Amino acid sequence: MKMSDLDLQKFCHRLPKVELHAHLNTTYSLRTLRLLLESNNGSENIEDMYFTTSHPIAESFKLFTKIQSLVTTPEDVYILTKSIIEEYAEENVKYLELRSTPKHIPSSGMTKEVYLRTMIEAIKDSESEGYPIIVRILVSIDRRQGLENARVAVDLAEKLMNEDNIVVGIDFSGDPEVGDAADYIPVFLDAAKRKLKLALHLAELNKEHSFQETVKVLEQCCDLPIRIGHGTFLHHAQQNDKWSALANLVYTKKIPIEACITSNLKTETVHCLEQHHFKYWKDRGHPVILCADGKGVYNTSLSQEYFLAMSAFQLTQQELKDYVVGTLDSIFGSDEIKEELRTEFTTLMSTLPSV
């Protein structure tokens, strides 16, 4: 019997999952967005704060700035973080890595450290309230903000990691048209030396400079504990004489790729679902993890991303069950957490009704 879309959606919702690529400021729900608009006297139309159709990627960066202007106080950071955790727990995500660029907002007295500590407080509160989800933080480096800011982010991340292990790594993100990722290589090497893991947005654009910087970064960082954010055009490199070594490097080093289907479609970096690079890497047995990127801004959910992959690439329920267990290998949490989750996933999966 062929499953209906509704059955598939239910299955994807019930499946225990991990989310490894979620930016705090783009992961709001409409309910949270309303609260943030109210508390900041925002006059924006709520419908203008998320994408229902596709737009060139530059439009996303404009929208991010608008949303960030609504998250200006520790209270805003707390509300946003706490509600994201509750929403992910509700859709059976058992492990979440939340990334964010710490902000210094003089008008509210919020420093970068207070910003991150507020995220940690919301995580600890969710833990003590019994939400069945483990949450970790990646401190984001915005490539538009330069090297000095990047170094501050690494210092802060190390300090907080050493306090309670909720911060586990660094995210490198921001507008891929701006700056050169290769300039940040010394920062990545230093962060890894301090035991921070690295999630790096790379090969997000089909442009010479994007390939060039990706090659330079990976040549020097491929043996560090890293994952690649998006990596949308890595498989194109495979077919290009000049860059073919790039995809081979990613493949031979088994560097996990965070794949965000709806985000790529809505930013017009991938033109149709069937051509999404998730399939290219999955077919090669390479670690590729489905993620939502910004479930608020792209009007999606992690379950929806699983549903899209399942229906477009004809994955069976068993394949998807095996797949989610495989995603645990790529988390930045400790080996104990990995083992705990592996046991939990196996148990939950055995009770998951087939649809």
Ligand X SMILES: CNc1ncnc2c1ncn2[C@@H]1O[C@H](COP(=O)(O)O)[C@@H](O)[C@H]1O
> Judged by CB under 6 A, does residue 91 bind ligand X?
no
Specify the residue, 256 or 294, whose C-beta has the smaller distance to ligand X. Answer: 294
Question: Could you say which of 73, 81, 100, 317 contacts ligand X (CB under 6 A)?
Answer: 100
- Single out the residue of 25, 126, 262, 330 in contact with ligand X (rule: CB under 6 A): 25
Q: According to CB under 6 A, which one of 174, 179, 296, 333 is a site residue for ligand X?
A: 174
**3-class DSSP string for the chain:** CCCCHHHHHHHHHHCCEEEEEEEHHHCCCHHHHHHHHHHCCCCCCHHHHCCCCCCCHHHHHHHHHHHHCCCCCHHHHHHHHHHHHHHHHHCCEEEEEEEECCCCEHHHCECHHHHHHHHHHHHHHHHHCCCCCEEEEEEEEECCCHHHHHHHHHHHHHHHHHHHCCEEEEEEECCCCCCCHHHHHHHHHHHHHCCCEEEEEECCCCCHHHHHHHHHHHHHHCCCCEEEEECCCHHHHHCCCCCHHHHHHHHHCCCCEEECHHHHHHCCCCCCHHHCHHHHHHHCCCCEEECCECCCCCCCCHHHHHHHHHHHCCCCHHHHHHHHHHHHHHCCCCHHHHHHHHHHHHHHHHCCCCC
Binding region for ligand X (CB under 6 A) out of 5-13, 18-26, 87-95, 321-329: 18-26
Instruction: Give the number of other CB atoms < 10 A from CB of residue 117.
Output: 17
Q: Which sequence positions are flagged as catalytic?
A: 204
Which one among 28, 50, 64, 211 touches ligand X, defined by CB under 6 A?
Answer: 64
300 binds ligand X per the rule CB under 6 A? no
Establish if 39 lies at the interface with ligand X (CB under 6 A). Answer: no
Nearer to ligand X, 77 or 320 (CB): 77
Q: Number of residues in contact with ligand X, rule: CB under 6 A?
A: 18
Would you count residue 81 as binding ligand X (CB under 6 A)?
Answer: no
Q: How far is the CB of 2 from ligand X (least distance, A)?
A: 34
74 binds ligand X (CB under 6 A): no
Query: Footprint of ligand X on residues 182-211 (CB under 6 A)?
Result: 201, 204
101 binds ligand X (CB under 6 A): yes
The region, left, alpha or beta by phi > 0 then psi within -120 to 50, assigned to residue 314 is left
Position 24 contacts ligand X (CB under 6 A): yes
Asked if residue 26 binds ligand X (CB under 6 A), the reply is yes
How far is the C-alpha of 59 from the C-alpha of 311, rounded, in Å? Answer: 28
**Residue closer to ligand X, measured from CB, 288 or 341:** 288
Which is nearer to ligand X, 59 or 127 (by Cβ)? 59
Binding flag, residue 232, ligand X (CB under 6 A): no
CB of residue 131 to ligand X, shortest distance in Å: 20
Compute the C-alpha angle 173/330/315, nearest 5°. Answer: 100
Query: Binding mask 256-295 vs ligand X (x if CB under 6 A, - otherwise)?
Result: -------x---x--------------------------x-
Q: Which is nearer to ligand X, 60 or 317 (CB)?
A: 60
Q: Which residues here bind ligand X, judged by CB under 6 A?
A: 23-26, 60, 64, 68, 100-101, 140, 142, 173-174, 201, 204, 263, 267, 294
